[in-house]
Amino acid sequence: MKSDNVVRVEAMNVLIAALGAIDAERFISMVKRDTFDYTEWQKNLWMDKSIEEIHAMGVELEKRNNRSQKSISKGKK
């Protein structure tokens, strides 16, 4: 299991990669400021997708993550 600090760092890196530094900070501020119910948010997040579509999205994300990790590993050698 990863430490809390490792999870925080990885999460910030993902947010920054997806949103950019400024919008990542804005997102963190919104989550901290609002009474954010993650479970309720997740219930409505994929309402327009079938389970097959969600699965395909997950498979594609895993492939991209694996490619990213391989390229990072190559750069460290």
Residues 43 and 57 occupy one common structural domain: yes
Q: Do residue 42 and residue 72 come from a single domain?
A: yes
Q: Are residues 49 and 28 in the same domain?
A: no
Residue 45 has a pLDDT of: 84
Same domain, yes or no, for 47 and 76?
A: yes
- Per-residue pLDDT tens for 16-57? 999 999 999 999 998 888 777 878 888 888 889 999 999 999
Higher pLDDT, 68 or 23: 23
* Shared-domain flag, residues 74 and 42: yes
* C-alpha to C-alpha distance for 57 and 28, rounded to whole angstroms: 24
Q: How many Cα neighbours within 13 Å face the side chain of 66? A: 6
- Same domain for 42 and 72: yes
Domain co-membership, 41 together with 72? yes
Give me the pLDDT at residue 26, please: 93
Counting the structural domains of the chain, the total is 2
- Do 19 and 43 belong to one domain? no
pLDDT of residue 54: 92
Specify the pLDDT at position 25. Answer: 93
Q: Which domain holds residue 22?
A: 1-35
Residue 14: per-residue pLDDT = 94
